[in-house]
Amino acid sequence: MKTILSMALVFVVCGPTGAQGDKVDPIGTWKCKYKIGDQMRTLELTIKKDGDKLVGTMSWPDQKDAKLKDVKLKDGALTFSNVRKFMDNEFPIDYTLEIDGDEFKGKAATAFGASKPEYDIEGKREKRDEWRIN
């Protein structure tokens, strides 16, 4: 009997904690930064829900609304790819982002010739302004 009660107590205490860890929300607009060489760069990532699928776009100062491909959320990690167009070149990029509340940290890997160098990327979700009546 004690074993059954102990197991029930463990389930009650640990069960909700495990479930909360699965509730990562990638939806929103994210302001992101990353460093290539010695230069800090920025981009904007927008993730939306389309039915039961995740979709999104990415915008840089010189390229707007590049559609994301294969957007997936699994075990708190958001993964997707897109194509960065720069100076008449196209660079496919794969992203893996670990979301923690309104922030993420992750890696981007760019196919560049025969190599695929990685770089760090981080972002913060934009807060929606509340309507205020003055």
CATH code at 48? 2.40.128
pLDDT tens digits along 22-58:
589 999 999 999 998 899 999 999 999 999 999 999 9
Distance, CA of 24 to CA of 125 (rounded, Å): 13
Is 66 a member of any domain? yes
119 sits in the region (left: phi over 0; alpha: psi -120 to 50; else beta) called beta
What is the residue range of 62's domain?
24-125
pLDDT tens digits along 57-104:
999 999 999 999 999 999 989 999 999 988 888 989 999 999 999 999
